[in-house]
Structure 1
Amino acid sequence: MLVSGYYGAGNLGDEALLAGLVTGLTARGIEPVVLSVDPRSTRKLHGVAAVDRYSGLVPALVKADALVSGGGGLLQDVTSGRSLSYYLATLRLAKAMRKRVVVYGQSLGPFTPSGLARTRRALAGVPLALRDQQSVGLAASMGYGSVLVADPALVMPLPPGVTPADLPADRRDGPVVLAPRGGQDALNGALAALAGALQAEGVPLAAVAFQPRQDEQAVAELIRAAPSVVARQATTPAETLAAMAGARYVVSVRLHGCILAARLGIGFAGLSYDPKVKGFLSQAAAPAFTAPVDGRALLSLVRTAPPAAAHAVDHLTRLADEGLDWLAATLGSAA
């Protein structure tokens, strides 16, 4: 089975998603082959077969029984029309080669009118498993049914040294962990203002860059605003979980900053720049802020550091696990 996504590009959120997907598939007797920007790093990090997402695509499809497109926010053309063209071309090629095709763990949109029309054509006859209600609704508006699942990062393995016993829902002595996103100046500015206010109150602070090449400058700006911020280095999903474990609260512009906080049972709030972030926060019953951020409300929230909504997170975790069962069954493998 061939898996297509934004893998091997140094985005720790996408790598966390893949870690959950690989673990779930192998536990169900399915051995994936991953299309990757950097196949060598993907093989080393996840212990799976991987090929170049361009030069290896056709040979891998020839050998594969099926293509799984996902997960992630692949099917949208607001940030990149070229990216959408790649993923749709991959879908069309697999269909032309009479391979089974499944879209799994994805969000849909936002689209330009042209992107929406192209995506609707490419998805004809394809089973869809989508990770938020808004995407399910968009698929319905295209005339397609879908299954609601959750991001497989919610079931990724915990790293060595981190066990459920180490994950209290309310950790008052830990730092507030901040996760900015490069290019989101207004939301990153709100994070910086929050960091400055919390530093003045003596609250310990840490920051994590989920895509180092894109986010390191934003982390540096947080440190300039609040020099007590500790930049926690992470280069793998396991290291990212370890960097976040023990936090009293997480405030993230990155979607997977929120998702991994949920995985750890830590309370979190999101600063939403995209419908996929807002969709997850709604499902997780977690606070959501959009620009312009109400700084006083955000500071008040973080001072109280409410725990994660356990009922909502438990439901999402079940959806992630059931989604992997659905994927295995759809691919024709015994779950």
Structure 2
Amino acid sequence: MNVVISGYYGFGNLGDEALLAGLIPVLQTAGHQVSVLSGDPSLTAHSHGLLGSHRLWGLPGALKRCDAVISGGGGLLQDKTSRRSLDYYLAVITLARRLGKRVVVYGQSVGPLSPAGERKVAKALKGLPVAVRDDSSRQLLAALGIAAELVADAALLLTPPQATLDLDGPVLLIPRGGYPTITDGLLALARSLHAAGRSLATMAFQERVDGPEVARLRAALPIEVWQADSPQAALLLMAKAGYVVSARLHGLILAALLGKGLSGIVYDPKVAAFLDELGAPAHTLPLAPDRLAAEVQAGEMPDLSQLNALKARAASGAAWLQQALSS
């Protein structure tokens, strides 16, 4: 089967590329031919070794050639950041259905949605096999009359490198572009940790978005800047960390895969949902740097049993996806 994946791919976002890296082997192992709708098809081809079609002008041809479309994973079905973004992802679903293609919505978070967005999502997803990565999304869809399977983030399917638990390694701070108040809190935390003798590192999960916040941290105090151009490279770097404080969802997911202590900064419901399921510390804005510093110094660890449950749910989600494609 020729399967096209629709998501936020080819934009240099390590989190979304981690989703894709977890999803591709699931499909290829089952014998499917995989292609991706991408913002940069050449980058997708280089990073993942498969065909990419431009998500706009390559869309009609990609849909005509394929047998099935997977919408996901990621936080695609929301209109908080952009109404046009939601309209795009729903248009892909609607066009694929009109062309008679099998469509599966997989591994997504849903919301926040405006009332108009809720109506659009309910209409576009009606009658489709849908799987979401957190229970709050499942509840939101249920309220809209859409039944959904509960799976987990596809990045949890990745195999991490061996990582030692070095509590004295650098404290890795992962900001989120567009939220300067997060960086304000990270700066206060960094100064406290630096005064206590801890080494520090930071990295951008999407350079064009997070880069300015990384630059603020680097300009304020001694801090290593780690740079990764793939999820695998990010995992190798993060394996050196002694603790991870992240506003980026996939900074937290990769840290959990590596068995690192972590604290999360909640700027979006998807981050809150993951931290809740992991049993890990969650911080809302404005941040309390003293509380964060205490967690770092104590080496707060996620609940291993809950992490294993999430990984098992990701694996069962992969099996659900295969069934949804074949039924």
> Shorter chain as normaliser: what TM range?
over 0.9
Pairing of 1:300-319 with structure 2 (within 5 A): 300-319=294-313
| Equivalent residue, structure 1, for 2:241 | 247
Q: What CA distance in whole angstroms lies between the structure 2 residues aligned with 1:93 and 1:152?
A: 25
Match of residue 135, structure 1, among 134, 137, 145: 137
Letter in 2 for 1:237: P
| Equivalent residue, structure 1, for 2:318 | 324
- Is residue 2:20 matched to residue 1:26? no
User: Shift in Å at residue 60 of structure 1?
Assistant: 1.2
- Is residue 2:225 matched to residue 1:225? no
| Equivalent residue, structure 2, for 1:183 | 178
Q: What CA distance in whole angstroms lies between the structure 2 residues aligned with 1:27 and 1:248?
A: 35
Pairing of 1:80-229 with structure 2 (within 5 A): 80-158=82-160, 162-163=161-162, 167-168=163-164, 170-227=165-222, 229=223
Q: Is the 8 A contact 1:255 1:277 kept in 2?
A: yes
Q: Is the 8 A contact 2:168 2:198 kept in 1?
A: no
| Equivalent residue, structure 2, for 1:68 | 70
Q: What CA distance in whole angstroms lies between the structure 1 residues aligned with 2:59 and 2:197?
A: 52
Q: What CA distance in whole angstroms lies between the structure 2 residues aligned with 1:194 and 1:145?
A: 42
User: Shift in Å at residue 30 of structure 1?
Assistant: 2.2
Q: What CA distance in whole angstroms lies between the structure 2 residues aligned with 1:201 and 1:188?
A: 20
Residue by residue over 1:144-166, the C-alpha shift from the partner in whole angstroms, topping out at 9 and shown as x without a partner, is: 111111111112243xxx33xxx
Q: What CA distance in whole angstroms lies between the structure 2 residues aligned with 1:325 and 1:280?
A: 21
Residue by residue over 1:135-185, the C-alpha shift from the partner in whole angstroms, topping out at 9 and shown as x without a partner, is: 010011011111111111112243xxx33xxx24x4212111110011111
Q: What TM-score comes out, normalization by structure 1 length?
A: 0.95
Q: Is the 8 A contact 2:256 2:302 kept in 1?
A: yes
Residue by residue over 1:73-129, the C-alpha shift from the partner in whole angstroms, topping out at 9 and shown as x without a partner, is: 001001001100100111110111111111101000101111111111111111111
Residue by residue over 1:44-91, the C-alpha shift from the partner in whole angstroms, topping out at 9 and shown as x without a partner, is: 110112111111111111111111000000010010011001001111
Unaligned runs of 5+ in 1: none
Q: Is the 8 A contact 1:195 1:225 kept in 2?
A: no
User: Shift in Å at residue 247 of structure 1?
Assistant: 1.4
Give aligned-pair identity as a percent: 48
- Is residue 2:251 matched to residue 1:257? yes
Q: What CA distance in whole angstroms lies between the structure 2 residues aligned with 1:47 and 1:155?
A: 18
User: Shift in Å at residue 27 of structure 1?
Assistant: 2.2
| Structure 1 residue ranges, 4+ long, deviating more than 4 angstroms after superposition | none
Match of residue 50, structure 2, among 48, 51, 57: 48
Q: Is the 8 A contact 1:193 1:225 kept in 2?
A: no
Q: Which secondary structure state, in structure 2, belongs to the residue aligned with residue 32 of structure 1?
A: strand
Q: Which secondary structure state, in structure 1, belongs to the residue aligned with residue 172 of structure 2?
A: strand
Residue by residue over 1:183-240, the C-alpha shift from the partner in whole angstroms, topping out at 9 and shown as x without a partner, is: 111112111111111011110111110000111110111123322x100011111111
Residue by residue over 1:294-331, the C-alpha shift from the partner in whole angstroms, topping out at 9 and shown as x without a partner, is: 22111111110122211111111111111111101110
Letter in 2 for 1:182: G
> Number of residue pairs matched?
325
Q: What CA distance in whole angstroms lies between the structure 1 residues aligned with 2:317 and 2:179?
A: 31
Q: Is the 8 A contact 1:130 1:148 kept in 2?
A: yes
Unaligned runs of 5+ in 2: none
CA 1:330–1:149 in 2, change beyond 3 Å: closer, same or farther? same
Q: Is the 8 A contact 1:180 1:219 kept in 2?
A: yes
Q: Which secondary structure state, in structure 1, belongs to the residue aligned with residue 76 of structure 2?
A: strand
Letter in 1 for 2:25: T
Residue by residue over 1:15-59, the C-alpha shift from the partner in whole angstroms, topping out at 9 and shown as x without a partner, is: 111100112222232221100001111011101121111111111
| Equivalent residue, structure 2, for 1:237 | 231
| Equivalent residue, structure 2, for 1:267 | 261
Q: Is the 8 A contact 2:280 2:301 kept in 1?
A: no
Q: Which secondary structure state, in structure 2, belongs to the residue aligned with residue 219 of structure 1?
A: helix
User: Shift in Å at residue 265 of structure 1?
Assistant: 1.3
Letter in 1 for 2:220: A
User: Shift in Å at residue 277 of structure 1?
Assistant: 0.5
- Is residue 2:11 matched to residue 1:5? no
Q: What CA distance in whole angstroms lies between the structure 1 residues aligned with 2:166 and 2:301?
A: 9
Q: What TM-score comes out, normalization by structure 2 length?
A: 0.97
Letter in 2 for 1:57: L
